[in-house]
Amino acid sequence: MEKIPVKIVGDSMWPNFHDGQIVDFEKYNGQTIHVGNIIVFPNPNNTNILLVKRVSKIVQNMYFVVGDNPDPTSSTDSHNFGTIDDSTILAFRQNHIAE
């Protein structure tokens, strides 16, 4: 399993991940993604930016993703751009909650 280090930018995944933190993700090669997993994918509105979000709902290989921060204005996620297709997922991580 190939690990991909990803730098967290911003506070959308707080309190589980912090701005500037480097987090290892597993390269996505079609593995099963579950609700609660965290995925890395290009922002649908600007593919030069990678997003890190938690999967909150899955319907037919389409993923509704959200940030962990309870402030709804802190995250650009599926509330802004809708669902994402599994073909856009670059990496994932099993459920992670701050310790």
Q: What is the pLDDT of residues 53-81, one digit of tens each?
A: 999 999 998 999 999 999 988 999 999 99
Answer yes or no: is pLDDT of 95 > 90: no
Q: How far, in Å, are 31, 37, 45, 88 from residue 48 at the CA level?
A: 24, 23, 9, 13
Global model pTM greater than 0.85: yes
CATH topology of domain 3-93: Umud Fragment, subunit A (2.10.109)
Answer yes or no: is pLDDT of 96 > 60: no
With 0-12 / 13-18 / 19 or more C-beta atoms within 10 angstroms meaning exposed / middle / buried, residue 88 is middle
Answer yes or no: is pLDDT of 1 > 50: yes
Closest CA to 4 of 76, 68, 93: 93
Instruction: Tell me the mean pLDDT in the region 34-40.
Output: 96
With 0-12 / 13-18 / 19 or more C-beta atoms within 10 angstroms meaning exposed / middle / buried, residue 26 is middle
Look at strands 22-27 and 46-59 and give their pairing.
unpaired
Q: Domain coordinates of the chain in residue numbers?
A: 3-93
